[in-house]
Each structure stands twice: as structure tokens, then as C-alpha cells.
């Protein structure tokens, strides 16, 4: 059995507080409006470890919504890569398994055949600590997507915690995770019983889901039914084209690049910011706009997350966090779209 | 310096040697490359740009490896082109690339070739014609079918006349307002299909132009007996990165920037949001 420990709550918080001296720590805290958000934290007491879901996942600390790419000297034409400057190492604490899976999904885009140096550096410099979910959240369906409620990854993260009745089980996904984790006081070697308890909690957590989706054969089914009327009906009646779904989605990676020039015209900052396939002009070229209808844009979102992503990256682009439907002003739910098509196939109304 | 060499978004510089006015709304930039790496292939593209303005994808209309010269032919549209059009000779241009797969020239060996170009779509196909002229003995019959809005809008008119001595050059325009050394038929490019005198089962087609044109080119050739798998299309999409990260150019599971811009017709037609 791989190396694992148990640690009591007080010692865990104490360990985290000590780490704040050498790490910038980000974690879930309740803000003034009562929403839980990931923020830089200065002391461990303010953490909300029972949080359900956040509007933005921890993606923002590895792939920020806006970041500088280059400083360009307009007189010489020389451009200088601007990498994120950090004096301290960083740690994201209490990432839910779906969001950790989302980061591993993003890795396939940004550190695939072409390496994005900005993402690569932030990812490498950030320690990830996962906290397994003992209960399903309101609109989550991670169990259906194979991304929760307990972490399914073998690597690509550093530490994973499971809240047990009296203490936490601490397991590791990397050597550096082990090094940092073992600095905690009061660690006790995990025993067989601790793993049995973990299994039991996971089984109970899996039972608590209210939302499900059948993913068997789903990509092929969606690709056979690109002309299904659900897209047009839903888009025309409900999609406002607000792009919320793609802003909160933890696997969305699209960006736009923008140049900003100083008033003296001497320097240009080239930066990028999150863009969205739901934006009207996203696919527009001189020849025309290839997704000018909301129907086409909604279909792009649904089929990318649930079908073509699999062909591109060998995994779903949806990790079942439920954010897109939670933050959609009209509650468009991609699982309901998929279910309608599946239902139509069953009764012979679709292919 | 290290960051620049491993950062795929980091631009290199080229010197603008000459700006050539091609037609009323189209010009070519003759770029001389410094430094290492001259590995450009027909059908690939560069992200050309200027600091403060931005970058946009443009194909190569001439690749001269010996002289380390690239020609990029560009039609007036948008900010980046507006700034490139005003650039003085001798100034620096930023570029990244080459990106994309390019035309599969190796497939042409022993086959007949039809090149169908529409409007500015002639630009990325010009290096293909250069290849056909150079390797004519390895290739069967070769046709260039080129359609434009008006005969005045036709690109590379001097080249066309020269090429017609070695390969079959057939021209069409929606509106014939002037006649050059080669006859221009009035009508769509598909009306030229009557003049093809080859077995289409042994033929490879490369086409680039408006998607609606390519749709009818493909339909017409399929009707004449060509296998759609032997038809290659080059697509235009919005691009910001060129390396499959920014997401703009996606068609289904394909990134036009890194999986394309050249696709076998059936491989790309199956997805949503193309006109093919």
C-alpha cells in the first residue's frame, strides 16, 4: 500500500498556517455576500472546507482571466516574454476532485504538442491539494463523468485529503506533495481501517447524487444528431448569448490576444484574456461568420464538451461540476439537452 | 532569451523588401528572413503582425528557399492588413510560423492534378503550381481552374500566361470586363469542368476559395466521378495563436491551424458549421 497518513483537523490547519510562510496559499473562503470563492488566504481559520461549489474554479490561478504575454519595444521591435512573477511558491488548497480533473484536462491543451510557457510555469510552480467530496453538490454530476466525488487521478496533483469521521486521510500524487505533506505535525501512518473507511465514505457519497447522465456512446450519438431540433429550440427560446457558461467552465481554454500601446507609443503590451465560443464574432472571418446563429453556438458548446473533446484529447471536456447550468441566467442544462437526444434515439425519433 | 526560444507565441522578425500591388484590393509582401529556420511548405501559413496592431494568419504565395524570401499575398480586410499595407520598404514585420500541415504534394506523384482556385484562394495555390512546373514529369495531366469575381480581380496575370505553356490554365469570372492574353470565360469556375479531359478516378484535386465555391466544386467533381477522398480543401478560420490553444479556428474536433488548414474533404465535411 502506498504511503499515506492520517492527521487531525487542528494539525492540518497548523500545517497550512506554517506553509503560509513559504507559500502563497489560495483556498475556499466565504465572501461578504456569502458566496464561497477561491482567494489568497492569510490564515487557515477562515477556510470553508464544507463548501459546495464556487463560481470560478481554481483554474484562474493557473490560467488567469487576463495576463500579459509580451513587452514589446516599438522602436527596436524586440519582444520580451513576460512570465508570471512570483516571489513565493503557490499552493491551491481544498480543490474539489472535479476541478482537479479540470486542470488535468486543461493540461492536454496547454502542455500538449505545443507548450504554453505561461501556463506551464504557473502549473509547475503551484502545489495542488485536493479535498475529496463526501457529498454531492446541488447540480454536480461528476460521478457520471468519472471525475468525482473522489479523485480518480493517479498523478498530475500533489496531495489528496479525505475528511473522515475523526481525522483526514492524506495521500500523495507526487514526490513534492509527499515532501511538503510530511512536514505536518502529528502524522500517523494510515492503517487498513482508514482505507476501508475511505471506501465507505466514497460509496455513500456516490449514492447522494441527484443528477446523472449516461455517457455510454454519447459522443457518437451527439455527432450523429448535429441537426437535432433541441439546439435551435433551446437557443431561440433561452440562450441570451451572455457567455457565462464558458466563463465559469473550468475546462474552457479559449483566449483572445490584444495589444495595448503606451501613450508615448514606445511600448506595446501584448496580453490575452478568456474568450468564448458563445460570443457572436468568435468564428467570424472576412468571408463570413461560421457560427452566426445562437443555435450553432449552443451546439458548439454542447458537442465540444460532450463529443468532439473526446476525439481531440481522449477525455470529456465536461467534468460534471454543473457550473454552466448554475450560472446560466435561463438555466440551460447540457445534460438535459443530451438526455432529450438520447430519449429521441430510444423512441426512434433521432438516429 | 531562453524564454523567447521556447515560447511558441514569441514572434520572429522579417524585413519587408518590396510591396507589390496585385489588384485593386490585393497586394503582396516580399519578406526577407534573417536568422535560422527556413522550413516553409506550400499551403502552410504564418501569423504576420505588427506590435500594437496584432497578428493574423496569411498563406505563402511564393517560397524561395535559396534567397530566403517569402511572398505573402493579402487582400484588404481588417486592422492588421491595413497596417501591413502602409508599411514602408525596409521595415520589420513580426511573424510566427510556419503553421499548419500544407498541401500533401507527395500524393500527386503519378496522378492527374486539378487545382481549383477562387479569388484570393489563388495565393496558397501558387506554390503548388510552382511544384507542378518543376516536377511535371512525375505527374500526369495538370489543370489550373481559376475563378474570380471580375477578370480585373484576377491575381498573377503574368504568371498565368507563362504557366499556360506547361499546364492547362482555364479561367472564369462572374463578370468579364477585360480580356488578357488568356481567354476568360464568363460564369462560375464550375462551368470550366466541361473542358477537363482526364479520368477523374486517377486525379487529385486541391482547392482553395470561398467555402460555397468549394462546396460546388466538390459536388461537381464527385458527379463527374471523382472520389471525395481525393479532394483536398484549404480552409480559412479566425486564428489568434496558430498552435491549437486559442480555440477560434475549431471545426468539430479539428483545429484548422494545426490539423489543417488543408483537409481531405470527407474528414472535415462531417462536422457542423462548414458550408462544405
| Mean pLDDT of the region B51-65 | 95
B54 lies in some domain: yes
Question: Over 70: is that where the pLDDT of A1 sits?
Answer: no
Give chain B positions within 8 Å (CB) of A247.
Answer: none
Average pLDDT of the segment spanning A223-242 = 96
Same domain as B36, residue B123:
no
- Averaged over A9-17, what is the pLDDT? 96
User: pLDDT category, A88, cuts 50, 70, 90?
Assistant: confident
- The size of the A-B interface in CB pairs under 8 A is 123
Which of B99, B121, B136 is where one domain is finished? B99
Asked if B45 and B152 sit in the same domain, the reply is: no
Which residues, 6+ apart, have CB-to-CB distance to A181 below 8 Å? A5, A158, A159, A170, A172, A187
Mean pLDDT, to the nearest integer, of A274-282? Answer: 96
Q: Does A124 touch chain B (CB under 8 A)?
A: no
Neighbours of A1 (CB within 10 A): 8
The answer on B41 and B115 residing in a single domain is no
Classify residue B9: in a domain, yes or no: yes
pLDDT score, position B3 = 72
pLDDT at A255 over 60: yes
For chain A positions 136-195, those within 8 Å of chain B (CB to CB) are none
Cell of A214: 449516461
Residues of A whose CB is below 8 A from B246: 254-257, 272, 275
B131 and B167 part of one domain:
yes
Domain closes at, from B56, B84, B99: B99
Assign residue B131 the CATH number of its domain: 3.40.50.80
Statement to judge: residues B51 and B131 lie in one domain: no
Pair (B173, B195) in one structural domain: yes
User: Taking all residues of chain A, what is their mean pLDDT, rounded to a whole number?
Assistant: 95
Q: What is the pTM of this model?
A: 0.94
Question: Would you give the distance in Å from CA A318 to the centre of its chain?
Answer: 9
| Angle subtended at Cα A282 by Cα A280 and Cα A287, rounded to the nearest 5 degrees | 95
Nearest by CB to residue B237, choosing from A79, A257, A285, is: A285
**What is the nearest CA distance from B138 to chain A, expressed in angstroms?**
34
The pLDDT of residue A62: 96
pLDDT at B110: 95
- B244/B217 same-domain check: yes
User: Would you tell me which residues 138-197 of chain B have a C-beta closer than 8 angstroms to some C-beta of chain A?
Assistant: none
d(CA B103, CA A79): 32
Residue B149 inside a domain? The answer is yes
C-alpha cell belonging to residue A246: 464558458
Residues B129, B228 within the same domain: yes
Q: What is the CATH number for B25?
A: 2.40.30.10
Q: Which domain holds residue B215?
A: 105-269
Chain A, nearest residue to B3 by Cα: A81
Tell me the pairing of strands B203-208 and B112-118. Answer: parallel
CA distance A273 to A283: 16
Residues B262 and B132 in one domain: yes
Residue B274, in any domain of the structure: no
**Phi and psi, residue A204, nearest 5°:** -65, -45
Q: Is the pLDDT of residue B93 over 80?
A: yes
| B11 with A254: Cβ contact below 8 A | no
Domain assignment present for residue B168? The answer is: yes
Is residue B68 a part of any domain in this protein? Answer: yes
> Is residue A61 within 8 angstroms of chain B, CB to CB?
no
pLDDT tens-place string over residues B134-174 = 999 999 999 999 999 999 999 999 999 999 999 999 999 99
Query: In whole angstroms, what is the distance from residue B97 CA to residue B51 CA?
Result: 16
CA separation for the pair B169, B146 (Å, rounded) = 8
Mean pLDDT over A70-89 rounds to 90
Distance CA A303, CA B134 (A): 45
Q: Is B250 on the interface with A (CB under 8 A)?
A: yes
Say if residue B16 is in the same domain as residue B58: yes
CB of A37 closer than 8 Å to CB of A55:
yes
Q: Is A257 within 8 Å of B55 when comparing Cβ atoms?
A: yes
Q: Do A113 and B244 touch (CB under 8 A)?
A: yes
At A23-35, the pLDDT tens digits run: 999 999 999 999 9
The predicted structure's pLDDT at residue A286: 87
Whether residues B95 and B109 share a domain: the answer is no
> Is B44 within a domain?
yes
Cβ of B51 within 8 Å of Cβ of A284? The answer is: no
Q: What is the pLDDT of residue B2?
A: 64
Report the distance separating Cα A106 and Cα A116, nearest Å: 11
Whole-number Cα distances in Å, A318 to A37, A99, A277, B63, B151:
21, 11, 15, 43, 51
Query: Which of B76, B99, B122 is at the close of a domain?
Result: B99
pLDDT in tens, A170-208: 999 999 999 999 999 999 999 999 999 999 999 999 999
Say if residue B123 is in the same domain as residue B250: yes
Q: What is the pLDDT of residue A86?
A: 76
Domain total of chain B: 2
pLDDT for residue B249 is more than 70: yes
Interface contact B13-A114, CB threshold 8 A: no
Nearest to B121 by CA among B217, B21, B227, B15: B217
As a whole number, mean pLDDT of residues A139-144 equals 96
Would you say residue B242 lies in a domain?
yes
Amino acid at each position: 500500500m502506498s504511503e499515506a497518513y492520517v492527521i487531525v483537523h487542528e494539525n492540518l490547519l497548523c500545517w497550512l498556517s506554517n506553509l503560509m510562510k513559504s507559500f502563497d496559499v489560495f483556498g475556499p473562503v466565504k465572501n461578504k455576500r456569502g458566496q464561497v470563492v477561491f482567494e489568497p488566504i492569510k490564515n487557515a481559520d477562515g477556510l470553508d472546507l464544507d463548501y459546495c461549489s464556487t463560481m470560478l474554479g481554481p483554474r484562474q490561478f493557473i490560467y488567469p482571466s487576463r495576463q500579459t504575454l509580451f513587452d514589446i519595444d516599438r522602436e527596436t521591435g524586440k519582444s520580451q516574454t513576460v512570465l508570471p512573477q512570483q516571489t513565493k511558491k503557490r499552493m491551491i488548497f481544498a480543490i474539489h476532485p472535479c476541478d482537479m480533473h479540470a486542470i488535468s484536462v486543461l493540461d492536454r491543451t496547454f502542455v500538449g504538442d505545443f507548450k504554453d510557457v505561461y501556463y506551464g510555469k504557473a502549473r509547475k510552480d503551484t502545489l495542488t491539494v485536493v479535498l475529496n467530496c463526501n457529498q454531492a453538490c446541488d447540480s454536480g454530476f461528476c460521478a457520471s463523468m468519472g471525475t468525482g466525488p473522489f479523485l480518480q487521478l493517479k498523478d498530475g496533483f500533489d496531495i489528496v485529503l479525505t475528511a473522515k469521521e475523526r481525522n483526514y486521510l492524506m495521500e500523495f500524487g507526487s514526490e513534492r506533495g509527499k515532501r511538503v505533506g510530511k512536514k505536518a505535525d502529528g502524522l500517523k501512518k494510515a492503517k487498513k481501517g482508514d482505507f476501508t473507511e475511505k471506501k465507505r465514505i466514497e460509496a455513500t457519497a456516490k449514492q447522494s447524487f441527484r443528477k446523472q447522465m449516461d455517457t455510454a456512446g454519447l459522443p457518437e450519438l451527439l455527432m450523429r444528431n448535429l441537426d437535432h431540433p433541441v439546439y435551435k429550440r433551446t437557443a431561440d427560446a433561452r440562450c441570451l448569448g451572455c457567455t457565462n457558461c464558458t466563463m465559469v467552465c473550468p475546462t474552457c481554454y479559449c483566449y483572445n490576444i490584444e495589444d495595448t500601446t503606451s501613450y508615448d507609443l514606445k511600448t506595446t503590451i501584448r496580453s490575452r484574456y478568456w474568450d468564448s465560443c458563445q460570443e457572436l464574432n468568435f468564428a467570424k472571418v472576412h468571408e463570413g461568420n461560421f457560427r452566426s446563429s445562437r443555435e450553432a453556438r449552443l451546439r458548439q458548446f454542447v458537442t465540444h464538451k460532450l463529443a468532439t473533446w473526446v476525439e481531440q484529447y481522449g477525455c470529456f471536456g465536461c467534468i460534471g461540476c454543473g457550473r454552466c447550468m448554475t450560472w446560466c441566467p435561463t438555466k440551460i442544462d447540457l445534460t438535459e439537452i443530451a438526455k432529450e437526444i438520447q430519449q429521441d434515439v430510444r423512441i426512434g425519433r433521432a438516429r | 532569451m531562453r524564454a523567447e526560444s521556447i515560447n511558441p507565441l514569441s514572434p520572429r522578425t522579417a524585413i519587408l523588401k518590396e510591396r507589390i500591388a496585385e489588384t485593386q484590393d490585393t497586394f503582396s509582401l516580399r519578406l526577407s528572413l534573417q536568422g535560422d529556420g527556413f522550413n516553409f511548405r506550400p499551403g502552410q501559413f504564418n501569423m504576420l503582425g505588427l506590435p500594437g496592431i496584432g497578428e493574423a494568419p496569411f498563406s505563402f504565395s511564393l517560397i524561395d528557399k535559396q534567397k530566403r524570401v517569402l511572398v505573402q499575398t493579402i487582400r484588404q480586410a481588417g486592422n492588421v492588413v491595413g497596417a501591413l499595407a502602409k508599411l514602408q520598404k525596409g521595415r520589420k514585420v513580426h511573424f510566427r510560423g510556419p503553421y499548419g500541415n500544407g498541401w500533401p504534394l507527395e500524393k500527386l506523384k503519378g496522378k492527374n492534378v486539378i487545382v481549383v482556385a477562387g479569388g484570393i484562394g489563388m495565393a496558397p495555390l501558387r506554390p503548388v503550381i510552382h511544384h507542378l512546373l518543376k516536377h511535371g514529369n512525375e505527374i500526369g495531366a495538370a489543370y489550373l481552374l481559376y475563378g474570380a469575381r471580375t477578370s480585373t480581380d484576377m491575381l498573377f496575370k503574368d504568371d498565368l500566361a507563362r504557366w499556360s505553356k506547361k499546364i492547362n490554365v482555364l479561367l472564369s469570372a462572374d463578370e468579364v470586363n477585360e480580356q488578357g492574353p488568356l481567354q476568360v470565360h464568363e460564369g462560375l469556375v464550375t462551368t470550366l469542368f466541361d473542358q477537363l479531359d482526364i479520368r477523374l478516378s486517377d486525379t487529385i484535386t486541391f482547392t482553395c476559395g470561398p467555402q460555397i465555391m468549394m462546396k460546388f466544386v466538390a459536388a461537381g467533381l464527385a458527379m463527374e466521378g471523382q472520389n471525395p477522398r481525393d479532394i483536398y480543401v484549404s480552409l480559412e478560420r479566425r486564428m489568434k495563436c496558430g498552435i491549437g490553444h486559442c480555440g477560434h479556428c475549431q471545426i468539430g474536433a479539428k483545429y484548422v491551424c494545426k490539423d489543417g488548414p488543408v483537409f481531405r474533404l470527407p474528414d472535415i465535411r462531417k462536422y457542423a458549421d462548414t458550408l462544405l
